[in-house]
């Protein structure tokens, strides 16, 4: 007994599967582009960071500019001027993003009341800052180092202990004593 087989349909069904199974990812079409990016990425990232406040946005901005550069790679005649090209792409991309941003400002008849206890006076902040540093400088060197590492460098107790080569308990007790001395400092009482 013979079964009829439609060869054209089975061939058509087999062809797309064969194409996807044998498809190999294409290597980068422009090896000179990848070497350029590896060599100049830190410099270009600094340029992108100067255009945005957020480091993550700067990375996205650079990625977009590099994608535009990759698309135009064959059209760029002078590869010695690539930094200028990429910088211009960064600036144009950032300008486009800025123009597309949504502005959440609405005109109103009355100005809103300022929030109580808003921004502190910069002069008062500087006075407090200076008084705090003078008080910290009065501490013994070891306690001063621990306070600076814990609260100015924002290290954990374990990290502070590791940096100074002491135990975590030593850091805890020394910082506690240092904070007690700072609370009792008469100069800090005047600015509180």
HSE at residue 104, side-chain half, CA atoms within 13 A, is 0
- Residue predicted with more confidence, 99 or 103: 99
pLDDT average, residue stretch 37-56: 90
pLDDT average, residue stretch 137-165: 91
pLDDT above 50 for 110: yes
- Residue predicted with more confidence, 71 or 107: 71
The structure's pTM equals: 0.41
Is-contact 153 136, C-beta < 8 A?
no
């Amino acid at each position: 007994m013979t079964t009829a087989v439609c060869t054209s349909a089975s061939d058509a069904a087999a062809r797309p599967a064969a194409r996807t199974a044998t498809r190999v990812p294409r290597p980068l079409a422009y090896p000179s582009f990848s070497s350029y990016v590896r060599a100049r990425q830190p410099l270009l990232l600094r340029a992108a960071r100067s255009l945005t406040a957020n480091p993550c946005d700067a990375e996205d901005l650079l990625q977009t500019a590099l994608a535009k550069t990759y698309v135009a790679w064959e059209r760029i005649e002078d590869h010695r001027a690539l930094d200028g090209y990429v910088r211009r792409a960064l600036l144009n991309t950032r300008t486009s993003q800025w123009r597309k941003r949504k502005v959440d400002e609405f005109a109103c008849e009355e100005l809103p009341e300022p929030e109580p206890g808003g921004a502190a006076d910069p002069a008062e902040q500087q006075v407090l800052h200076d008084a705090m540093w003078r008080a910290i400088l009065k501490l013994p060197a070891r306690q001063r180092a621990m306070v600076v590492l814990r609260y100015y460098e924002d290290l954990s107790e374990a990290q502070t202990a590791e940096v100074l080569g002491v135990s975590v308990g030593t850091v805890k007790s020394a910082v506690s004593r240092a904070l007690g001395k700072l609370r009792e400092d008469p100069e800090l009482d005047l600015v509180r």
